[in-house]
Amino acid sequence: MTILVIAEHNNDRVRTSTRNTIAAAKDIADKTGADIHVLVAGKDCAGAATGASQIEHVAKVLRADAPHYEHGLAENISNLVVANADAYSYIMAPGSTFGRNIMPRIAALLDVQQVSDILSVEGEKTFTRPIYGGQAIATVESTDEKTILTVRTTGFDAVAAEGGSAPVEDIDSQDDAKLSTFVSLEESKSERPELSSANIVVSGGRGVGSKDDFKLIEDLADKLGAAVGASRVAVDSGYVPNDYQVGQTGKVVAPNLYMAVGISGAIQHLAGMKDSKVIVAINKDEEAPIFQIADYGLVADLFDAVPELIEKL
């Protein structure tokens, strides 16, 4: 029995989400005795393949190197995975936008009902997953012969990046499906830690009021070495780029410390941060729902409290 994990990477390096996914695969391996293989499909992706081979618990790395795998287009990656699927009982990927885009396509081609966003492994084919924006947790059992999963990365601590020494095997690429082509990427570059895996996240909402004032949130984040997040309204209003959104339909984070500033605490926002270890809320409305889940609440005008925090930290 073998598990295939589809690596998320940038051709040079494997992303942390891949190691969270391998952690989930390891939980399945512990119950089934399965081996874990990792697929690295990309262009000039030797760096990522070498990185994958060093991750602990990995038994083998499959590398497919071709120009049309450079940007992870769903049509091409899914054809590649399906062509190699016979050997695998489980196929898994991170529940990031990369995994969400490709996995259902693979599942449908293999006639499997995918299980999205697993939080834990309860049995060989039994998993928990959040529904209704995390307002309920379902325990589900897959009855298909193959099991296809995406993994909620905050549910699994990443396995170590070092310690493995798996062989890398080159596999044939499939033809370019030519259904879609990459045009451009407007990457949001930041010196700050990555939002999904940061230790501390400082998020701002509508209360911050403007793009200029959002600098306050950024300054506080920098003081704490934190990543910056935002509510949907802050993104919609153009204070920050789209990939800062935390929530049911944005990123899910579970840092040691999450600070929500000028955020009311809508169900959809809570869905993305309520598993944080410590939650701080700063809001001028003492009735704001965010206070119901905050470990420490401060009723204050953020334009007073945040500068004071920055000064005193």
For ligand FAD, the binding residues (CB under 6 A) are 205-207, 231-234, 245-250, 262-264, 266, 268-269, 272, 283-285, 288, 301-303
Report what 78 binds from another protein, ligand FAD, none; CB cut-off 5-8 Å by kind.
Answer: another protein
231, interface contact from another protein, ligand FAD, none, CB < 5-8 Å by kind: ligand FAD
Strands 126-131 and 120-121, bridge-based pairing:
antiparallel
Q: Which residue is nearest to ligand FAD (CB)?
A: 247
**From ligand FAD, another protein, none, interface partner of 301 (C-beta below 5 to 8 A by class):** ligand FAD
Least CB distance from residue 131 to another protein, whole Å? Answer: 6
Whole-angstrom Cα distance, residue 72 to residue 12?
14
Q: Which amino acid is at 96?
A: S
Compute the least distance from the CB of residue 298 to ligand FAD, in Å.
Answer: 9
- Residue 248 Cβ, how far from another protein at the closest point, in Å? 7
Query: Are the C-beta atoms of 309 and 215 separated by less than 8 Å?
Result: no
What is the Rg, in whole angstroms, of the alpha carbon atoms belonging to the chain? Answer: 21
Nearer to ligand FAD, 84 or 245 (CB): 245
Instruction: Report, in Å, the least distance between residue 125 CB and another protein.
Output: 9
- For 299, phi then psi, to 5°, come to -85, 110
Q: Which does 11 bind (CB under 5 to 8 A by kind): another protein, ligand FAD, none?
A: none
In the list another protein, ligand FAD, none, the entry touching 75 (Cβ below 5 to 8 angstroms by class) is another protein
Beta bridge partners of residue 62, listed in sequence order: 39, 169
Task: Tell me how far apart the alpha carbons of residues 51 and 73 are, in angstroms, rounded to a whole number.
Answer: 22
Whole-angstrom distance, CA of residue 17 vs CA of residue 307: 34
CA atoms within 13 A on the CB side of 156: 31
Cβ atoms of 35 and 2 closer than 8 Å: yes
- Closer residue to ligand FAD in complex, CB, 180/249: 249
Closest to another protein by CB, 45 vs 279, is: 279
> What's the distance, CA 15 to chain centroid?
10
- The b-or-e profile of 147-179 (16+ CB within 10 A means b, else e) is bbbbbbbbbbebbebeebebeeeeeebbeeeee
User: 73 or 305: whose CB is closer to ligand FAD?
Assistant: 305
Using the structure block, give the residue that is written with the tokens 């599942």: 107
Q: Which is nearer to ligand FAD, 178 or 215 (CB)?
A: 215
* Binder of residue 1, out of ligand FAD, another protein, none (CB less than 5 to 8 A by kind): none
Residue 87 site contact among ligand FAD, another protein, none (CB < 5 to 8 Å, cut-off depends on kind): none
- Between 164 and 250, CB nearer to another protein: 250
What is the number of other CB atoms lying within 10 angstroms of the CB of residue 131? 12
Q: From the CB of 112, what's the least distance to another protein, in Å?
A: 7
Q: Which is nearer to ligand FAD, 30 or 285 (CB)?
A: 285
Least distance to another protein, CB of residue 254, Å:
12
